Amino acid sequence: MKRRFRPLLRWLPILALAASVRLPSRAVEPATDQDKKKSSKASAPKKKKKNRVPKPPPATPAQRAEASHFVQEHAGDTMDLGIQNPAALVPFLERLYRSQQAGSGETLRVLQFGDSHTASDDWPGAIRAFLQAKLGDGGPGFTHAGHPFEGYRRFDSKGTQSHGWRAEGLLSREGDGLYGLSGVRLTTERAGETLTLDAAGSQVELLYWKQSGGGAVSIEDNGAPLAVVDTAGEIGPGFWRQQVQAGAHHLVLRTESAAPVTVFGWAVEKSGGLTWETLGLNGAQADLLLLWNEPLFKAHIERRDPALIVLAYGTNEARRSDWTYETYTETLRHVLRRLRAAAPLASVLVIGAPDQSIRERGHWVTVDGVDRIISAQREAALAEGCAFWNLRMAMGGKGSMKQWVTAGLAQGDFVHLTAAGYRLWGESLAQLLLQDYGVYQTVRRQVFGSTENGPPPKTH
């Protein structure tokens, strides 16, 4: 299938923007004798039931081949469909351009917020691997502290926690909202509790909460003492950062006393390259971001200084009848404005909800609410000057999830993908971004000629 290149002329009216982009230079009680006399059946611990994903419906080789052809065909069309309102990507593309200049050393950061599609890291991990191979490995960037919920992982780092930590936030719609960048915090009031992180980089940062009477934590790196951080102080966000030798690191945080400690996460980076940071929560909806404490959220966003923010929600909203087109559009616009206020120099990309089906009377039926949510996402994105990618259209349109399941690229719940399916999503989006970057470079050279960075930014 031939790929039709979008006209270069659509970039000409917005190239001038690039010239003026301002860049920021916790014990189990022992069993009693009476307990031991109870029957083994009664005293046996109950295993927590896991939500098992149903098996996909059986498919013949011919059906699987036909479905695979369908998916591949529409994946190819992705390049032609493209990203809507690519002008909104100019700040990201310009910072990418400048970061790629020889000797720049700037680490370009991308934050992907979303639901379970994001939290498992299959999808963002595929984007990260593809783009870092082309643009340089900037390290994992921000990661959750420890392992705060089942289903969270990162392929480029690994975190653990001792039993005395409590995960707070997540999908909570009550509480103080002090959940930081990722919507979850770990807290403890016990001495000797630990968090670990295995990651590679040359710079380490800890994001924590300063509070009156806060406890001190010690940090070790590869078995050697690195620092002691006192979390006591005036209430507010706390940051500890240190340069370390480039390479692999095994970091251990340990609480030093029975005093309150709250940790939001780590950030480990390399010099230069790109990060693609996973900020997903299972079951999340976009409006959850509005329930997080805004000053703290803003402080963490500013600290990360992202060049691009990606919003990938809609799967959970599509099954809720209380979200109308109007209410979801307005709510998402508020979310986008909050992100804009926190990161005015960043581009924002909204990804439309993927296709999904629900089982009714023995048949898999497409969830109609996806139509409403995608329309609202597109409206909100364009109204707020953001870019938009119609993921369901790239999948093949309404009802396409059935083809993805038959092809072995999606799971039997008709909602989540397999690792191979997420890899296809990820590489499709990564290629789109690189395609737009290639067009941008071409037009930029046509406008600015041989001047690498264009004219100086306007100051008035």
pLDDT of residue 452: 56
pLDDT of residue 44: 41
pLDDT of residue 40: 39
pLDDT of residue 31: 43
Beta bridge partners of 188: 261
Structure tokens at 210: 């300063």
In the chain, CATH 3.40.50.1110 sits at: 58-138+272-449
One-letter amino acid at 207 equals L
Per-residue pLDDT tens digits for 164-221: 999 999 999 999 999 999 999 999 999 999 999 999 999 999 999 999 999 999 999 9
Contact 315, 115 (CB under 8 A): yes
pLDDT of residue 8: 41
Please tell me the distance from the alpha carbon of residue 264 to that of residue 42, in angstroms, as a whole number: 40
Please tell me the distance from the alpha carbon of residue 290 to that of residue 342, in angstroms, as a whole number: 13
Contact 421, 404 (CB under 8 A): yes
Please tell me the distance from the alpha carbon of residue 369 to that of residue 321, in angstroms, as a whole number: 8
For 370, list phi and psi in degrees, rounded to 5: -60, -40
pLDDT of residue 245: 96
Left if phi > 0, otherwise alpha if psi is -120 to 50, otherwise beta: which for 141?
left
| Sequential DSSP letters for 387-455 | EEE-HHHHHTSTTTHHHHHHTTSB-TTSSSBPHHHHHHHHHHHHHHHHHHHHHHHHHHHHHHTT-TT-S
pLDDT of residue 53: 77
- Cα radius of gyration (the chain): 24
Closest CA to 117 of 332, 315, 384, 404: 315
In the chain, CATH 2.60.120.260 sits at: 142-169+181-269
pLDDT of residue 24: 44
Q: Is 246 helix (H, G, I), strand (E, B) or coil?
A: strand
Three-state SS letters, 83-120: CECHHHHHHHHHHHHHHCCCCCCCCEEEEEEECHHHHC
* pTM, two decimal places: 0.88
Burial class (CB in 10 A: 0-12, 13-18, 19+), 167: middle
Q: Where are the alpha helices (DSSP H) in 141-235?
A: none
Q: 28-39: string of b/e by CB count within 10 Å (b at 16+)?
A: eeeeeeeeeeee
pLDDT-flagged residues of the chain (< 70): 1-51, 79, 102-103, 450-460
pLDDT of residue 30: 41
CATH of span 58-138+272-449: 3.40.50.1110
Choose which CATH entry (2.60.120.260, 3.30.460.10, 3.10.450.50, 3.40.250.10) describes domain 142-169+181-269: 2.60.120.260
pLDDT of residue 274: 97
pLDDT of residue 49: 52
> In terms of residues, how long is the chain?
460
